[in-house]
């Protein structure tokens, strides 16, 4: 067959385009994890369907039967180990008596290989299996009983099929939401080309690699700037602040939902640390100190925070997160992991931490919630305070009578007030809007020191902290106040007295930032 010159040129051009696409593309893989708890739940749904979560795999009579319960999957090197408890008998009914081999109680254990089909079906293949008694001893059982047991059990396990298409579709559809509209058509082509590459046995579950080809221009990071970077404009800072507010509201939504499901002080403490660490990342931006060369600060914050959230969820699952909620958390974490992988593997795509993307991710975790997961305000959040061991409400202080002018009279009044609360209120009243003149510095320092000592004593009251650490804490309180504000709460701007405020919006003596301590977590 001979092509004309024009057709030959067209065919050659198409071949070159195809070759160029192949040569200038990098393979990116996104892990989909099938946790062993979920695998166990799925085999229970398909096989252990009788009342009480058992599987009556065979029953001819009270003398000839096999019943299984308590299935469990776990890793065994590069193999998958399946074990199940069982009760069985292979006797003969003679004159209302059961003659022959005695009843067996024990465990069946199978080592398996795993594979995933092009249709995204996870399949199991038994490599070897054994029968044990209740003490996990082998070799004391009837060979005939074992052959019969294998004949019933193996077909059920090898017929087990787990459809990975729904979690794949959920992750891919979420990725499309997070990619800017300018790259929407190309990312659709990339994601639609996804295929299952392999499946590995890991510590926490089976990891299926979701592979796709990404054009090389998206894989290469942006080159560093060759000239000094101009500061962020006020418009850019405002845009990033709004994005940070959405992110912080989302994270609070996640923390409240997750912390409410697990009443574990250690886990809640880690959630508290994660929330505050995320908020502190905002301060350089608010102060105008964020370098452009580090890219979108919200994307960076998402990637950094997500790693910590993933670890907390992983630890919680090991501590016994109930299986009905584990499904939601696993899907939620898998989706976030996919976003982090996409951001790291193809930074040129520029994922957007959009409101729609965050809302969709939040609904994966708490589909029943009716509140807006991105609502942001600076009001007290009694639910979040309770979660972290704080009183749900902040007590309203009783303002004492006017303070005498004389320092001696004032100290006597504070002593005569009789209670620590009254003394604290008196101290605060005395210091209210006091911007000391040079001649007042000695008296101001003495009063401020008394305030710091007083609130430190209140914080340590009833504390289990060793005496040595209490001494350190007392010193740290005063040193921190000195470092943050030089013991100043107020400053004078022209003729007006106002709170000491940093460029990042932190206030007062300890430079507390309202965005960091949003929801009144003090």
Strands (E), 36-78: 55-61, 64-76
Structural domain that includes position 292: 165-195+231-376
What pLDDT shows up at residue 25?
Answer: 65
376, 396, 426 — which closes off a domain? Answer: 376
Q: Which of 332, 331, 328, 337 is nearest to 305 (CA)?
A: 337
Question: Do 142 and 171 reside in the same domain of the chain?
Answer: no
- The backbone region for 324, taken as left when phi is positive above 0, alpha when psi lies in -120 to 50, beta otherwise, is alpha
CA-based R_g, the chain, Å: 33
In a domain, 39, yes or no: no
Question: Do 441 and 309 reside in the same domain of the chain?
Answer: no
What pLDDT shows up at residue 198?
Answer: 86
In a domain, 468, yes or no: yes
Three-state secondary structure string covering 385-401: HHHCCCCCCCCCCCCCC
Question: Do 306 and 186 reside in the same domain of the chain?
Answer: yes
Contact 455, 478 (CB under 8 A): no
- Bridging pattern class, strands 92-94 and 97-99: antiparallel
The phi and psi torsions of 210 (rounded to 5 degrees) equal: -95, 105
In a domain, 108, yes or no: yes
What pLDDT shows up at residue 476?
Answer: 93
In a domain, 509, yes or no: no
In a domain, 312, yes or no: yes
Q: CA 239, CA 290: separation in Å to the nearest integer?
A: 14
What pLDDT shows up at residue 73?
Answer: 93
pLDDT tens digits, one per residue of 259-302: 888 778 888 899 999 999 999 988 888 787 777 777 778 888 88
pLDDT tens digits, one per residue of 185-223: 877 888 888 888 888 998 878 888 888 888 877 777 666
Question: Do 144 and 252 reside in the same domain of the chain?
Answer: no
Question: Do 311 and 171 reside in the same domain of the chain?
Answer: yes
Q: CA 307, CA 333: separation in Å to the nearest integer?
A: 10
Question: Do 182 and 277 reside in the same domain of the chain?
Answer: yes
In a domain, 12, yes or no: no
In a domain, 250, yes or no: yes
What pLDDT shows up at residue 224?
Answer: 63
Q: Which of 88, 89, 147, 78 is nearest to 114 (CA)?
A: 78
Question: Do 359 and 257 reside in the same domain of the chain?
Answer: yes
Which residues, other chains included, contact 175 with Cβ-Cβ below 8 Å and sequence gap of 6+? Answer: 187, 191, 338, 339, 342
Q: CA 429, CA 403: separation in Å to the nearest integer?
A: 7
What pLDDT shows up at residue 414?
Answer: 44
Question: Do 106 and 245 reside in the same domain of the chain?
Answer: no
- Distance of alpha carbon 309 from its chain centroid, rounded? 2
Tally Cβ neighbours within 10 Å of residue 101. Answer: 15
Question: Do 120 and 255 reside in the same domain of the chain?
Answer: no
In a domain, 117, yes or no: yes
Whole-prediction pTM value? Answer: 0.71
Question: Do 240 and 100 reside in the same domain of the chain?
Answer: no
pLDDT in tens, the chain (522 residues): 333 433 333 333 323 233 333 335 678 888 888 888 888 888 888 889 999 889 888 888 888 888 999 999 999 998 999 999 988 887 777 766 776 666 788 899 999 998 888 888 888 899 988 888 888 887 655 566 677 778 878 888 888 888 888 888 888 888 888 877 777 787 788 888 888 888 899 887 888 888 888 887 777 766 666 666 677 778 888 888 888 999 999 999 999 988 888 778 888 899 999 999 999 988 888 787 777 777 778 888 888 899 898 888 878 777 665 555 666 777 788 888 888 888 777 777 777 788 888 898 888 888 888 889 999 998 899 999 999 888 888 765 444 444 444 444 444 444 444 445 678 888 888 888 899 999 999 999 999 999 999 889 888 887 788 888 999 999 999 999 999 999 998 999 888 888 898 888 888 889 888 888 888 887
Question: Do 335 and 252 reside in the same domain of the chain?
Answer: yes
Question: Do 360 and 473 reside in the same domain of the chain?
Answer: no
Biggest CA–CA distance in the chain, Å, is: 112
Which residues, other chains included, contact 116 with Cβ-Cβ below 8 Å and sequence gap of 6+? Answer: 122, 123, 164, 196, 198, 199, 208
> How many separate domains does the chain show?
3
């Amino acid at each position: 067959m001979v092509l004309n010159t024009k057709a030959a040129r067209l065919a050659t051009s198409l071949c070159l385009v195809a070759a160029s696409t192949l040569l200038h593309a990098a393979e990116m893989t996104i892990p989909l994890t099938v946790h062993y708890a979920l695998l166990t739940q799925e085999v229970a749904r398909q096989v252990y369907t009788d009342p009480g979560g058992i599987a009556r795999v065979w029953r001819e009579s009270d003398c000839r039967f096999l019943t299984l319960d308590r299935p469990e999957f776990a890793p065994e090197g590069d193999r998958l180990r399946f074990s199940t408890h069982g009760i069985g008998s292979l006797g003969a009914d003679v004159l209302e008596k059961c003659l022959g081999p005695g009843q067996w109680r024990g465990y069946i254990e199978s080592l398996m290989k795993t594979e995933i089909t092009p249709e995204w079906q996870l399949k199991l293949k038994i490599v070897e299996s054994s029968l044990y008694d209740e003490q996990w001893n082998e070799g004391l059982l009837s060979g005939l009983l074992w052959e019969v047991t294998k004949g019933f059990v193996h077909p059920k396990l090898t017929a087990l099929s787990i459809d990975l298409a729904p979690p794949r579709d959920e992750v891919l559809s979420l990725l499309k939401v997070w990619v800017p509209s300018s790259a929407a058509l190309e990312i659709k082509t990339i994601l639609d080309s996804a295929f299952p590459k392999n499946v590995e046995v890991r510590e926490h579950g089976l990891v299926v690699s979701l592979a796709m080809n990404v054009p090389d221009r998206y894989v290469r990071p942006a080159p560093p700037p060759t000239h000094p970077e101009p500061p962020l404009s006020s418009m850019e800072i405002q845009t990033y602040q709004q994005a940070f507010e959405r992110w912080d509201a989302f994270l609070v939504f996640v923390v409240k939902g997750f912390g409410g499901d697990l009443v574990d002080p250690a886990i809640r403490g880690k959630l508290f640390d994660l929330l505050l660490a995320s908020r502190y990342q905002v301060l350089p931006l608010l102060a105008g100190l964020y370098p452009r060369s580090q890219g979108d600060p919200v994307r960076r914050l998402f990637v950094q925070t997500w790693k910590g959230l993933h670890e907390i969820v992983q630890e919680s699952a090991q501590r016994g997160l109930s299986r009905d909620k584990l499904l939601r958390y696993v899907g939620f974490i898998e989706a976030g992991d996919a976003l982090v992988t996409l951001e790291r593997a193809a930074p040129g795509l520029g994922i957007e931490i959009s409101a729609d993307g965050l809302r969709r991710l939040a609904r994966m975790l708490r589909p029943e919630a009716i509140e807006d997961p991105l609502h942001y305000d600076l009001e007290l959040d009694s639910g979040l305070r309770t979660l972290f061991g704080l009183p749900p409400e902040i007590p309203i202080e009783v303002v004492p009578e006017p303070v005498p002018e004389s320092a001696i009279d004032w100290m006597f009044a504070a002593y005569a007030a009789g209670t620590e609360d009254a003394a604290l209120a008196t101290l605060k009243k005395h210091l209210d809007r006091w911007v000391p003149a040079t001649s007042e510095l000695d008296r101001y320092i003495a009063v401020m020191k008394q305030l710091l000592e007083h609130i430190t004593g209140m914080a340590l009251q009833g504390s289990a902290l060793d005496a040595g650490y209490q001494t350190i804490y007392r010193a740290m309180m005063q040193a921190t106040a000195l470092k943050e504000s030089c013991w100043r709460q107020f400053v004078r701007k022209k003729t007006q007295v106002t709170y000491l405020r940093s460029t990042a919006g932190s206030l007062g003596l300890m430079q507390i930032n309202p965005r960091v301590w949003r929801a009144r977590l003090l």
